[in-house]
């Protein structure tokens, strides 16, 4: 398992909070990070050490509970 850090960002890309994630690969970590989308969190950055894995746009996520 690899350790990742997911940062919930506000609309100005300032960190609201962060959460450690454990996943076997980037794809699984991205899936876990997408579940962190919620109202008031427009995006999430996913990092593995100093490597930016992905920036998730929560507004574009069809499964995001913050829509509607």
Pairing of strands 43-48, 2-9: antiparallel
| pTM for the structure as a whole | 0.84
- pLDDT by 10s per residue, the chain, length 68: 999 999 999 999 999 999 999 999 999 999 999 999 998 899 999 999 999 999 999 986 555 444 44
Q: Which residue has the tokens 């980037």?
A: 26
CA distance 30 to 57: 12
pLDDT at 60 (0 to 100): 67
Cβ atoms of residues 16 and 41 within 8 Å: yes
What are phi and psi for residue 58, nearest 5 degrees? -65, -30
């Amino acid at each position: 398992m690899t350790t990742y850090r997911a940062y919930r960002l506000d609309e100005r890309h300032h960190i609201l909070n962060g959460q450690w994630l454990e996943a076997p690969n980037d794809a699984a970590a991205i899936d876990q990070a997408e579940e962190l989308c919620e109202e008031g969190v427009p995006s999430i950055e996913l990092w593995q050490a100093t490597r930016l894995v992905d920036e998730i746009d929560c507004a574009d996520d069809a499964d995001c509970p913050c829509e509607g």
